[in-house]
Amino acid sequence: MSNAAADFEEIDVDGNYHVLIPSRFPPIDIFARIANGQDDAFFELESLTNPRLKEKRQILNGADAVDGNSPLVQNWNHAPFAYPNPDGTYFFGPDLSALELASDLATALAISVARRERFLGDTSEPATGLDMRALSRTVRGRFADLRSLDPTTPGEQRRRLGQRVFEAGLDGIVFRSADRGAGLCVSILRIETLGKAVQGEHFRFNWNGTCIDVIYDFRTGKKIYPDELRANPELAA
């Protein structure tokens, strides 16, 4: 149906969505290199200034019904809302936190490759391997349908649309990926729309000093080539 407050359609979202995050494989404790067996003391000190842990305490203290294992307080879910992104996101500036997820793993990989290439290129990093972990979770809510929006729409125009969606009180936006036209994404404004994040496949991105030329899938042993991933809508990771 048409939204009275802004010129876009609304749709109900109910599905599984994906993202890639940096990973250590195998995982290690965050303070393992410096704590010398005093991990608890380091955790206590760090918690005094950590905005994610502060928000988590506020959520748990503010509502007795909130389970400590709830998706609301899972680190992977509420950290994106606790730590503002200084660059903002596709539709929102740094003053409004949003979590962006992809509708399929292939699109999530293409997006992650593009972002890592921009960062590594900007910092002139030498050739290296990056270990990345896939996360998935369900998303349920009422979203603005901007799938028809041209992915090359200028940032200023996208931000104006995002502000209108926020003012309309919707849970976020469904849109087409600028990094893989065959894929859809969601930009999420409300943590309440998220199910619990689940760890999935583990990948290594091979940065050759200029671009990420190949992705290794640790589970299958297969190689995935970013150019093919972006160009082939049928290619699945």
* pLDDT tens, position by position, 59-77: 555 444 444 567 777 888 8
pLDDT (0 to 100) of residue 142: 97
Domain layout of the chain by residue ranges: 9-231
Find out whether 206 and 87 touch, Cβ atoms under 8 Å. no
Q: How many CB atoms lie within 10 A of CB 219?
A: 10
**What number of CA atoms fall less than 13 Å from residue 140's CA on the CB side?**
5
Q: In which residue ranges of the chain is pLDDT below 70?
A: 1-6, 24-69, 233-237
Distance CA 192, CA 178 (A): 26
Around Cβ 118, how many Cβ atoms within 10 Å?
11
Angle 125-95-147 from CA coordinates, rounded to 5°: 80
Query: What pLDDT does residue 81 have?
Result: 85
Note the pLDDT of residue 114. 95
**pLDDT, position 37:** 54
- pLDDT tens per residue, range 110-128: 999 999 999 999 999 999 9
Instruction: Report the interhelical angle of 75-82 vs 51-62 (nearest 10°).
Output: 110
**Burial bucket for residue 120 (CB in 10 Å: 0-12, 13-18, 19+):** buried
The phi, psi pair for 167, rounded to 5°, reads: -65, -25
